[in-house]
A and B are shown apart, each in its own frame.
Chain A
Amino acid sequence: MIYRVISKPEFRSFIDALVQANSSFGPRRVDTAANGDPVYQFMPVGSADDIEFDYTTTASSAKHFFLPFSEELSRFCFHERDWEQKISYEAQPVVLIGLRACDISALNILDDVLLKGNYPSPYYLAKRKNTFVIGMDHLPLPGCFCKSLAHHTVSTGFNLFCSDIGEKYYLSINSSKAFNYLKDFQTEEPSYEDNCLLTERRKLISRSFQTEVDVTSLPSILDIEFDSPVWEKWGTKCLNCGTCAMVCPSCYCYSVEERFDIDLKGASRNRKLYSCNLVDFAVVAGGHNFRPKNGDRLKYRYYHQHRGFAENGNQQICVGCNRCGRACLAGINPRDVINDLRMEKDSCMICVSQSPGRT
């Protein structure tokens, strides 16, 4: 890692040049909520003026730039009495500006799952490699709990990370590409004072968290609480709408569908991001639904998020951005669900669960 500082006007010029030369996306204000809060999303930007550098967080994550909501995985063309399959991994270069530390951590987790397993995803790899990621730090929102998962800072997975130290940005340069781009702009070695300002900035961020979620030994608590009535309590509230997974930076589950083209001369295989909360997520051929109850579906989302799957060494994949909590119309959020589970465990000596044991 190489460190530099850049004045804010010079940083804008740098971003402006980058954005004008590349297909770029950054945080833009798209709406004002009824309560007066601004709503931001990663949207196309054409100049530095389009970007809200001091935004809070985007309603939806940057996941879809790497895992599109819908993606054609392959095409099938019928000819004579045979057919051929065409697969393309091409991805256009993209610049993504303004990702938060937790967003980049989520990408690192997706890298673990989608690139480091037995079957790396070439679709994901192409997009990941061709995306220039610029991170920016921020003061946490009231619901942010990334610090509880140690994702409020990030040291890998980006090209450039910018910490706001007042008049300047403190740059962490993590790729030769970023280093070369910056050569044309005026940057300086961080001074002793700059380093102090960065430390202060980090301290400020760290002590600004208002939400803490105790995730210690959560994977084991989840195993123990498989039959907890907590799941039914929260499941009853769940609208089964899948919004949590759609806005989540690390939910990667999907469904695959094959279908004929309308002219019957070809076919396609398509992947669509799905959610374990959707009613038919666990429906198998023949129509049997392994998880017909919304409490069970909600449970499996928390299992996947906080206990992990073998693909990523049973590590938690939740980064604590609380997008799901903010977006959930039913008021379901990780803090309250996890706290409930912990209370359940604390009181387990006096509670008698009615539900049958795990088989």
Chain B
Amino acid sequence: MKNPVYTFEKLKFASFEFTCCEGCQLQLANREASLEAFFSLLDVRTFREISSEKHDDYDIAFVEGSISRSDEIERLLAIRRQAKTLVAFGTCACFGGVNSLKNRFPIKESIAEVYDGLPVETLPVRKISDIVKVDLSIPGCPVAKEEIERIVVNLVTGSLPAMPKYPVCVECKERLNTCLFDLGEICLGPVTRAGCSAVCTSGKTPCLGCRGPAEDSNFPAFMELVKERGLSRRDLQEKLGFYNAFEAYTVHET
């Protein structure tokens, strides 16, 4: 495709789903105002939510979901062999996501509870980077389409895809929200990567950290804040564990 000044190649694009709700891929088909322009940047080879055609000659693969079955591992390895760029797409792919809650229970117990004793093959949930090399991670539950548009433009034009390194507080303050800590809640905004336009906190719902840790998050200071305000440690652990995005920070905190 061509604009009057530059000529760019479309991305040979494929999108795949593993253990997830497919909601992140649905975001790719959202935002109608710019949908035509968005898909004119992509040569869609495989993407079951928008086309029944299937081709295996893609260069870039968006992978949504976590890995929880052995056949998923095989499929993921095959995608990695084909894709020049593999993108972990959404919170499940980046961190394991809500699915990871399963890992807190013995696997037999989970099967008995969910499938009522039917024989089901299932593994503890793993994020994509536990199995294959990931070239780019785009977190979010769901991902923010505006951010995806920017990143796809970056990929097409060969510039560096960039995400905010700072925490959600910045965007929350831009929207003049009252801090949820001042309303007596625990909010993961101060330690979570921004880029969501503080959508949850603007609706007075505390951040659960779907975008994972901000860069250089000050975790000890955050723990101190929760302690000093006399807020529930259990609530904090629930929130930190919700998307499994703070694994690295919760292990040593028991």
| A contact residues vs B (CB 8 Å cutoff) | 30-31, 33-35, 39, 41, 43, 59-60, 64, 69-70, 78-83, 236-243, 246-247, 259-265, 273, 275, 278-280, 292, 294, 327, 329-331
Residues of A within 8 A of B182 (CB): 31, 33-35, 39
Please state if A243 and B174 are interface contacts (CB–CB under 8 Å). Answer: no
Instruction: Pick the residue among B37, B149, B156, B178 that contacts A39 (CB under 8 A).
Output: B178
Please state if A246 and B174 are interface contacts (CB–CB under 8 Å). Answer: yes
Q: Is B221 an interface residue when CB atoms closer than 8 A count as contact? A: yes
Instruction: Pick the residue among B5, B173, B181, B215 that contacts A242 (CB under 8 A).
Output: B173
Counting chain B residues whose Cβ lies within 8 A of the other chain, the interface size class is: 35 or more
Would you give the shortest CB distance from A64 to chain B, in whole angstroms? 8
Q: Is B82 an interface residue when CB atoms closer than 8 A count as contact? A: no
Please state if A78 and B170 are interface contacts (CB–CB under 8 Å). Answer: no
Residues of B within 8 A of A263 (CB): 3, 34, 37, 40
Please state if B183 and A33 are interface contacts (CB–CB under 8 Å). Answer: yes
Please state if B157 and A69 are interface contacts (CB–CB under 8 Å). Answer: no
What are 20 A-B pairs with beta-carbon distances under 8 A?
Answer: A30-B176, A30-B178, A31-B178, A33-B178, A78-B6, A79-B4, A81-B4, A82-B4, A82-B5, A239-B217, A241-B169, A243-B173, A246-B169, A246-B174, A262-B34, A262-B38, A279-B216, A329-B179, A329-B225, A330-B221
Residues of B within 8 A of A331 (CB): 228
**Contacts A240-B167, A264-B3, A280-B165 given: A246-B173 contact, CB under 8 Å?**
yes
Q: Is B242 an interface residue when CB atoms closer than 8 A count as contact? A: no
Would you give the shortest CB distance from A82 to chain B, in whole angstroms? 8
Q: Which of B6, B41, B183 has the most CB of A within 10 A?
A: B183
Please state if A280 and B6 are interface contacts (CB–CB under 8 Å). Answer: no
Would you give the shortest CB distance from B199 to chain A, in whole angstroms? 16
Closest B residue to A58 by beta carbon equals B176
Closest B residue to A34 by beta carbon equals B184
Instruction: Pick the residue among B40, B157, B181, B221 that contacts A260 (CB under 8 A).
Output: B157
Please state if A78 and B4 are interface contacts (CB–CB under 8 Å). Answer: yes
Please state if A280 and B221 are interface contacts (CB–CB under 8 Å). Answer: no
Chain A interface SS verdict (over half):
loop
Instruction: Pick the residue among A35, A236, A241, A247 that contacts B167 (CB under 8 A).
Output: A241
Please state if A34 and B183 are interface contacts (CB–CB under 8 Å). Answer: yes
Would you give the shortest CB distance from A226 to chain B, in whole angstroms? 22
Residues of B within 8 A of A246 (CB): 169-170, 173-174
A69 to B37, CA, bound (A): 27
Please state if B216 and A294 are interface contacts (CB–CB under 8 Å). Answer: yes
**Contacts A39-B182, A78-B4 given: A236-B173 contact, CB under 8 Å?**
no
Q: Which of A81, A259, A260, A273 has the most CB of B within 10 A?
A: A260
Please state if A278 and B157 are interface contacts (CB–CB under 8 Å). Answer: no
Q: A241-B189, A242-B173 are in contact. List 13 more A-B contacts (CB 8 A).
A: A31-B183, A39-B182, A59-B178, A239-B169, A239-B190, A239-B221, A260-B153, A262-B37, A263-B3, A265-B3, A265-B4, A294-B218, A331-B228
Please state if A242 and B221 are interface contacts (CB–CB under 8 Å). Answer: no
**Contacts A329-B179, A329-B190 given: A240-B173 contact, CB under 8 Å?**
no
Instruction: Pick the residue among B38, B156, B166, B184 that contacts A240 (CB under 8 A).
Output: B166
Q: Is B191 an interface residue when CB atoms closer than 8 A count as contact? A: yes
Please state if B170 and A275 are interface contacts (CB–CB under 8 Å). Answer: yes
Q: Is B248 an interface residue when CB atoms closer than 8 A count as contact? A: no
Please state if B218 and A239 are interface contacts (CB–CB under 8 Å). Answer: yes
Would you give the shortest CB distance from A299 to chain B, in whole angstroms? 16
Would you give the shortest CB distance from B165 to chain A, in whole angstroms? 5
Please state if A264 and B181 are interface contacts (CB–CB under 8 Å). Answer: no
Q: Is B84 an interface residue when CB atoms closer than 8 A count as contact? A: no
Closest B residue to A331 by beta carbon equals B228
